[in-house]
Chain A
Amino acid sequence: AQSVAQPEDQVNVAEGNPLTVKCTYSVSGNPYLFWYVQYPNRGLQFLLKYITGDNLVKGSYGFEAEFNKSQTSFHLKKPSALVSDSALYFCAVARYGNNRLAFGKGNQVVVIP
């Protein structure tokens, strides 16, 4: 079975400061890793994914994430946070050969003006 841990409930960051949202995963075999964002009363919007290749993945809206196999982590980062980045962020993992997603509990990001 695959699982994701997002250890922090809420991440507060000042506008313009770097933003990091942490994610660790557990899966047998090679993982497929994803970040999604959810705004109030909306579905999930895809940000980025790691399937294979370069450990640093660049995605939408200036976000990036780094895959670290030894630490089983896939932290989401943005160099300079915007107020509009305030939302709920979900990390998800799928096992190779199976595109069933297992999500973490989510992190509420609050960017303070």
Chain B
Amino acid sequence: DAGVTQSPTHLIKTRGQHVTLRCSPISGHKSVSWYQQVLGQGPQFIFQYYEKEERGRGNFPDRFSARQFPNYSSELNVNALLLGDSALYLCASSLDSSGGNYNEQFFGPGTRLTVL
């Protein structure tokens, strides 16, 4: 079975531009989460979506937004890019987001975003 896939692999943008990152979860997984990993740090939680609804949001500005489609794939959008948005953006999928019965998250290879 295919794992979590993300596109594009690499992306170079300039300050002020907008970017859209895409993620396809493992077949049968209904929950998608996004994380930002800045060089030298651990991943930080941005969003979680389940059944097309936002289930959680990390401490990120409103420039960051996301959505989940009926096929459970997801997009992460970042507006008005800043130099500090340069990072590896990771998508993770899991079966669902139900509490009390943790479903482990499987990560994709990430999209490396460079903002110049």
Could you tell me which A residues sit within 8 Å of B by CB distance? 4, 32, 34, 36, 41-46, 49, 51, 90, 92, 94, 96-106
Contact = CB atoms under 8 A, between A and B. Distances in A.
A43 B100 contact: no
A41 B109 CA distance: 8
B53 interface: no
Nearest to A98: B99
B42 A104 contact: yes
Interface of B: 4, 31, 33, 35, 40-45, 48, 56, 58, 90, 92, 94, 97, 99-100, 102-110, 112
B90 A51 contact: no
Contacts of B44: 103
Nearest to B56: A100
Contact of A43 (B31, B56, B90, B104): B90
B42 A105 contact: yes
Given A43-B108, A43-B109, A101-B105, A96 B99 contact: yes
A103 B90 CA distance: 13
Contact of B102 (A32, A43, A46): A32
A12 to B, nearest CB: 18
A45 B107 CA distance: 7
Instruction: Classify the interface of chain B: helix, strand, loop or mixed.
Output: loop
A4 B110 CA distance: 22
Contact of A100 (B33, B100, B104, B107): B33
Nearest to A94: B102
B104 A98 contact: no
A74 B25 CA distance: 29
A100 B108 contact: no
Q: Which of B40, B42, B106 has the most CB of A within 10 A?
A: B42
B41 A34 contact: no
Contact of B42 (A51, A90, A99): A90
A45 B97 CA distance: 20
21 contacts: A32-B102, A43-B90, A43-B107, A44-B90, A45-B107, A46-B104, A51-B102, A96-B99, A99-B94, A99-B99, A99-B105, A100-B33, A100-B45, A100-B48, A101-B35, A101-B43, A101-B45, A103-B35, A103-B42, A105-B41, A106-B41
